[in-house]
Structures are given as C-alpha cells and as structure tokens.
Amino acid sequence: MTDQSLVRETACTVVDKLRTGEVTPLDLLDVLEKRIAEVDDKVNALPILCFDRARQHAKALMQKPAAERGLLAGMPVPIKDLTNVAGVLTTQGSPIYKDNVPARSDILVEHLEDNGGVIYAKSNTPEFGAGANTFNEVFGATRNPWDTSRSAAGSSGGAAVALATGMAWLAHGSDMGGSLRNPASFCGIVGLRPSIGRVAHTPVAAIDRNLGVQGPMARNVEDLALLLDAMSGEHPADPLSLPAPVTSFLSAARSGRKPRRIAYSPDLGITPVHPEVKAITRKAAERFAEAGAIVEEAHPDLSEAHECFHVLRAFDFAISKAALLRTKRDLLKPEVIWNIEEGLKLTVEQIERAEAQRVAMTARTLEFFQTYDLLLAPATIVAPFPVENRYVAECDGKKFDNYVEWLGIVYAITLACCPALSLPCGFTASGLPVGLQMVAPPRGEAQLLAGANVLEDILGLRSTTPIEPRAAR
C-alpha cells in the first residue's frame, strides 16, 4: 500500500526518492489519486483527471534508466486548463470549449514531459483566465482551503489549491495580471511569474504576445526553482524563448546569496491596500535586516500602469478573442465581452501611447534596480474575499472603475517586464494567508530565488502546507 505521508514531502525530496528508486512514478500517481478523492470535492481544484494517460507515460518513463528520466524523473504535474494537453479535455473554463480535446499538446507540456514530468490533471481556471477569482460555467468555483467560503484568487486558482491541499507537489500556471502571484498569495504557496521568454510556449493569436507568461508554482522556493528548471529552455516555435541558464535555478536558490539593499513599497504608489495586508508585508520585508540587508521604503515610478495595462490587456483580448465575440457572444461571460469590446474600440494612438508608457516604466524600473537588489510589495491588496464576489469592487475606501483595477499592484510589475514571485509571509487575524511580492530586474530569476529562499528561512513558514480544507469559522 502506498504511503500517503508522501503528500507532505517536498518536491525536491520526492524527486530524490524517484531517482534512487525508493518510489516510482506509479506510486506517486496512486498517492495523488487517493488524495484527490479525499479532498477535491471540498475545493474543486482539479476538475479534469487523466490518470490512465499518466500511467501510460509513467510506465514508458520507467523503461528508461533512472539517469535518463529528466529533471523531474517522473514527478506528476497538473496543467492549468488554459493549456492544451494532447488527448485530454481542455476547456479554458468556457462553455464554448466544454467538449474540446486537442490532438497536440502545447510545447510547454511537451517540454515538461521531455523533462520527466507526468501530466495527471488539469487545474481549474476562470473563463479564458479572465478575472482573479477562479470560477466558470463549466466546472464551478474553486474554493480556498484555508476557508472554503473564500476565493482562491486566479487565474491559476486550481493549481494553487491543489498544492495547498497536497493534491500536487508542483503545478503549472500562467500570469498576465498576477495570475500566478494572486492565487499563491491567497493560498499560502509560492508562485513565480518569470521573465518574458523564460518558459517557451506555443504562440496563439500573435507571435509576440508577451503580457502573459507561463510559470511554476510550488509549496516552497526550492521546489519552485526545480520546476522552473524543468520549464526553461528555448524552442524554435516560440521566437521569444530564451536558452536555459548555465547554472540551474535550483543551484541559485540554494546559493545563500543575500541581497544587500532592499526596497519595500506598501502600494507601489498606485493603489489602495488593506491596512492589515500592509502591516503583515512590511513586517516580513523588514526581516531582511536579519540577513544584513538595508531595507528602505521606495518604488520606481509606475504611475502610468492603470492606463497602460487597461489598453494593452484590451488589445490582447481583441486580437485573441474577437472571433469568439462575433460567433459565440451568448456563451461568453460579461467580463470577457467587456474586455474584447474595450479592445475593439481602441485607436492606434491609444495603443501607441500605451506601448510608450510601458517602455518608459520598464526603463525607470531598470534604473531603480541600479540601486536596489529586490523590490518588495504586497502580492495582493486584500486577504481572500468571499468566493461569491466576482472581484474586489473597493479597498480601503476606494471604489474601482472596473473588475481588473484591484490587480494594479501585480500588473504594474508585468508591464515592467520583471520576474516576480509571491512568498507566504504571514496570516491575518482570522488565519488567512498573505503573500509578499518579491521582484527582481528582467532576467533576474537567479537573484530573486536566492533572496526568496533567504527570507523563507527567516520567516519560518515553509511547512505550513499542505492542509486539510477548512470550512468557514
């Protein structure tokens, strides 16, 4: 009988066990199948399972010598339900695609499988990833395991919940306006938005779309670095993709390299933030002083972020989804319709202005990193909110103009082209997790992971997950 205590092990430990033959990929699939049966009905994180396919892949992998099974060596990984997996239902959270079974996987999935990943499930997402609350008309809402009356955020909400509840050791997600960082913050796990091109994926709608990127999620920084290593590398089908680094990200995370000068901003100068979230993130940031770092309050000028992101996001929705608006409007949720219509109304002058704003913000941010090694800020402006609320309508007395604006603290960093992660940094008085956003200059994942690992050690929150789902208290 397979040992269910394996769900509590780190991914790095499990991969070591796979390499030595102490466990097999089939053992791990048995553990996960049982764990999902025990807890997923309470949280709805992994609505699509493909264990038969996973076992076929695992058996094929086990025919190879242990040294040739790739970085992940047979580690199971769920894929977010925006990304194609060959032969597996891929709905994008939309009724339009409720029966869609692609014939070919995204190159991201092929890359993971080549590196020894075994795909066993698809994680829940809002329709087309729109909106940072994971619910859709196909599978319903994903619930936060720390309090099942609360949101898991999004759009990689299913992935974050699977990790937090022990239904995954590692998970894939994606991020345009915080979709790896928001759910990581709400669920008490780690999610990383990498630099543009770090993770190759199949281009859709435009070759050079770069607001959205693919990235890793895990329960701790070293596990996150392991998955980033397995995801990284160039591919000719993705012209923006970067070569894998000479030194692994896992080695960088374990290097002990400490930042010398840290900037903390409670709001990046652009958004309200709940006072409790400010206090928790500030306290965590200040603890970098224990590693000898200077911690100062500062941030680059990101004042154009709201206008810029609104335009570029709308433009992205127009080029990728306008055909669906013309043919399937009645099957789209209101927020998606709004996004596409906003995009179709844009003038060339608006797009020109937004692109120039992005260039300017990126330049100012690069200059800022001449002084600071890392920039820290809240990863979300509120603690997990009630799951039935579609989005955050107001915060600290400010009402937002639209359903996306509450995400400014993360999408500003998207616009500046920086890698950023959310690290668990504490809990509210009611016991809900809060994430600290940690940001490095473009292509600075190595220093980001090293600094995050140092702070993770100081904060001592590494083993807070996995948990059993908890009902509202």
| Predicted local distance difference test score (pLDDT) of residue 180 | 98
Q: Catalytic positions, please?
A: 80, 155, 179
Query: From CA 245, how far away is CA 157, in angstroms rounded?
Result: 29
Question: Does a structural domain hold residue 62?
Answer: yes
Q: Residue 245 sits in a domain of what CATH number?
A: 3.90.1300.10
Identify the helix (H) or strand (E) that includes residue 173. Answer: strand 170-175
Structural domain boundaries, residue 387: 4-459
pLDDT band at residue 143, thresholds of 50, 70 and 90? very high
Question: Does a structural domain hold residue 32?
Answer: yes
Whether the per-residue pLDDT at 194 is higher than 50: the answer is yes
Question: Does a structural domain hold residue 257?
Answer: yes
Closest CA to 170 of 153, 155, 185, 184: 184
Give 1's contacts (C-beta < 8 A, 6+ positions apart). Answer: none
Question: Does a structural domain hold residue 473?
Answer: no
pLDDT band at residue 238, thresholds of 50, 70 and 90? very high
Give 162's contacts (C-beta < 8 A, 6+ positions apart). Answer: 45, 46, 78, 121, 123, 168, 171
| Predicted local distance difference test score (pLDDT) of residue 131 | 85
Average pLDDT, the chain: 97
Question: Does a structural domain hold residue 232?
Answer: yes
What is the average pLDDT across 212-240?
98
For the chain, what is the domain count?
Answer: 1
Question: Does a structural domain hold residue 470?
Answer: no
CB contact at 8 A, 415 and 361: yes
Question: Half-sphere exposure (CA, 13 Å, Cβ side) for 282?
Answer: 14
**Chain segment 436-447, per-residue pLDDT in tens:** 999 999 999 999
| Predicted local distance difference test score (pLDDT) of residue 1 | 45
Whether the per-residue pLDDT at 221 is higher than 90: the answer is yes
Question: Does a structural domain hold residue 472?
Answer: no
Question: Does a structural domain hold residue 334?
Answer: yes
Question: Half-sphere exposure (CA, 13 Å, Cβ side) for 253?
Answer: 19
What is the average pLDDT across 107-128?
98
**Chain segment 324-367, per-residue pLDDT in tens:** 999 999 999 998 999 999 999 999 999 999 999 999 999 999 99
